[in-house]
Amino acid sequence: MTPQGAMIAVELSADQERLAKEVSSAVAAGAGIVVLRGDDRSPWQAAIGELRRSGLTIAVDASNVISADVFSARPDIACLPFSDTDLAERNLYIHRTLAEMVEFCELAMSANIGAGGIVANSGAAWTLDHLWGRGLLADPVFVELPFAVPGGQWAPASFDALTYRLGLLSAVCIPFVSVAGIDAVSAKELLTLALAIGAHVVVPAARVEWACELASALGRVPARRWPPPRLDGASANA
Amino acid sequence: MSQRAVVLTACLNTYGSVSYPATPHTVHEIIASAVDANASGAAVAHIHGLHGMDEQGRATKPDLRAWQAIVEGIRRQCEMVVQFGVTVMDEADRLSVLDTARPDMMAVTLGDVHGIVEGKELYARHDRGELASLLARLREYGVTPELEVFNEGAIWNARWLIEKRLLRPRSDFLFFTLPVAFPGGIHSPANLHSLAYRSSLLPHDSEWQGICFVEPKGTATPAEQWRILAGSVALGGHTRVGVEDSPYFADGADAGSNAELVERLAWIVRNLGHRPAEAGELRARLSFR
């Protein structure tokens, strides 16, 4: 395995005042992608222009927003969870039909926006493969792999869980690992392991510098351009 | 590992349009199939009682008298543990078969079911509130849950239930089912890594079985299924076989009955140096009060 440039994606807050500061510090630290999450149009839609000037690749996590809003904002990548959402801390359940996911991918394709996905478990990996098999996703596919999120999409922040999930992904996927509770030792360990075996990471703004320094120390200079270099070995056999 | 008593479950039937020569259809056929499977080494009969059917051949409301007659018929003839498969039924139907027929065990899926059956999406929501009330009802009746774990999120739910004292390791008989090869959003790949990984996350003092669905219902081939079943035993678990999961001895070779499939599985268990658990000894371990 020859791990190459690690791509650090920064998860931005939904607070518009903080967002601008976070973007500039993320750029300075070495982030390559911003991941915008939010329940409604603002503030991330208003910030798209500013983000464009930053040169960062823009990915929007459309877990909780209306699909049409996502595409009208014209991010580079739009992501949908390829499974139902079950977040215990917010007591939030969202059922996502296969038809909804198909429509999302078709909209992304027609808008020339890269469709990506959140693969929280093995079933989501099956769905991703299914969508790929129907020609609804384009190579490469941005894939976020969340860990330690309380609720029905939980998986432990462990090396076993990481390699198991990575082993489910096809070669067209570019895996980004995220961990809930970033300050826990287990979370930092998992992100370190992810970088060590060739995956990429998504971290909150306050942790971008930490992740970039860590990636560099592991011989993986942070990559700025999407897609990052192809990796041989981000797999269960790493 | 020393010789173990391996629990073999016979999943005797299912509903829907997929049917095989070995599928029992009537109350009498299901009872007879259970008794034969027990004689071949199965300690548990996993059954789907009879349902009404709509014009498209989809199951509608459960025929409660038939569910009850099946339980009573099996109990009259053998000690087999009767386990209800109710995963895709809605909450009201699950409670009605439980209240009426009182099985020994009943399937409880620890999370939502989002699969593809015969090309159609199948969705059954099992949120934590519903899980809590169902387990309370099972405990009231002394019916042991068969806890289905399609992915790691289900294990988070199991831990949540333990925290709420709705599942009690050590005093309860905690029996988990780890399915592989069910297509859709609950899919896990048909490999032993999938079973080994999920089983490593289960609470201490619990038992588990690996099960595998074969095409066209599942994504595995018959040969893959037999490797999963044998592998489950070799990994320290229990396992199940029957026409609900697959009617095949091997690629392209149909079994004539559920009993023949159980017999083959029992042979594998003995060949590994273990033995099939007797229904009576499993019954003595069931505890959910």
Instruction: State pLDDT tens for residues B82-116.
Output: 999 998 888 899 999 999 999 999 999 999 999 99
Q: Do residue A84 and residue B112 have CB atoms under 8 angstroms apart?
A: yes
Residue B257 predicted with pLDDT over 80 = yes
Among B160, B148, B146, residue whose Cα is nearest residue B104: B146
A210 touches chain B (CB under 8 A): no
Within 8 A of A127 by CB-CB distance, chain B residues are 184-185
> What pLDDT shows up at residue A137?
96
Q: Do residue B187 and residue A123 have CB atoms under 8 angstroms apart?
A: yes
Please name the residue of chain A whose CA is at the shortest distance from the CA of residue B200: A160
Q: How far is B246 from chain A (nearest CA, A)?
A: 21
pLDDT category at B1 given cuts 50, 70, 90 is: low
SS3 at position A91: coil
A155 to B106, B152, B221: CA distances (angstroms): 26, 5, 28
Tokens of A175: 């895996």
Q: Do residue B114 and residue A83 have CB atoms under 8 angstroms apart?
A: yes
> What pLDDT shows up at residue A235?
45
Residue B18 predicted with pLDDT over 80 = no
In this predicted complex, what is the ipTM? 0.87
List residues bridging with B8 in a β-sheet.
B239
Q: pLDDT 10s per residue in chain A (238 long)?
A: 445 789 999 988 767 778 888 888 999 999 999 998 866 655 667 777 778 888 899 998 888 766 667 888 889 999 999 999 999 998 888 899 999 999 999 999 999 999 999 999 999 999 999 999 999 999 999 999 999 999 999 999 999 999 999 999 999 999 999 999 999 999 999 999 999 999 999 999 999 999 999 999 999 999 988 998 765 544 433 4
CA A163 to chain centre: 17
Bridge-based pairing state of the strands B248-250 and B253-254: antiparallel
Please say whether the beta carbons of A1 and A197 come within 8 A: yes
Backbone angles phi, psi at A73, to 5 degrees: -75, -15
> pLDDT, tens digit, for every residue of B148-163?
999 999 999 999 999 9
CATH class of the region A8-217 = alpha beta
* Residues in CB range of B114: below 8 A, 6 or more apart: A83, A84, A95, A123, B121, B122, B123, B184, B185, B186
What value does the mean pLDDT take over residues B44-51?
93
CATH class of the region B5-285 = alpha beta
Among A42-46, B7-11, B57-61, B148-152, the minimum mean pLDDT is found in A42-46
> What pLDDT shows up at residue A47?
74
Among A113, A112, A180, A110, residue whose Cα is nearest residue A144: A180
What value does the mean pLDDT take over residues B12-39?
88
Please say whether the beta carbons of A9 and A201 come within 8 A: yes
Q: How far is A90 from chain B (nearest CA, A)?
A: 13
A145 touches chain B (CB under 8 A): no
Please name the residue of chain A whose CA is at the shortest distance from the CA of residue B183: A126
Among A109-118, B26-35, B139-148, B244-253, the minimum mean pLDDT is found in B244-253
Check residues A14 and B203 and name the one with the higher pLDDT. Answer: B203
B15 touches chain A (CB under 8 A): no
The DSSP letter of residue A206 is: G
B80 touches chain A (CB under 8 A): no
> What pLDDT shows up at residue A50?
77
C-alpha to C-alpha distance for B196 and A110, rounded to whole angstroms: 42
The residue among A101, A122, A237 with the most chain B CBs within 10 A of its CB, best to mutate, is A122
Domain ranges of chain A: 8-217
> pLDDT, tens digit, for every residue of B121-149?
888 888 999 999 999 999 999 999 999 99
What value does the mean pLDDT take over residues B47-75?
88
Please say whether the beta carbons of A86 and A93 come within 8 A: yes
Q: Do residue B185 and residue A127 have CB atoms under 8 angstroms apart?
A: yes
Q: How many residues are there in chain B?
A: 289
> What pLDDT shows up at residue A104?
92
Domain ranges of chain B: 5-285
Nearest neighbour of B197 by CB, restricted to A82, A127, A164 = A164
Within 8 A of B124 by CB-CB distance, chain A residues are none
Dihedral (Cα; B45, B49, B55, B60), 10-degree rounding: -120
The residue among B109, B148, B151, B160 with the most chain A CBs within 10 A of its CB, best to mutate, is B151
Tokens 């027609």 appear where? A110
> What pLDDT shows up at residue A222?
92
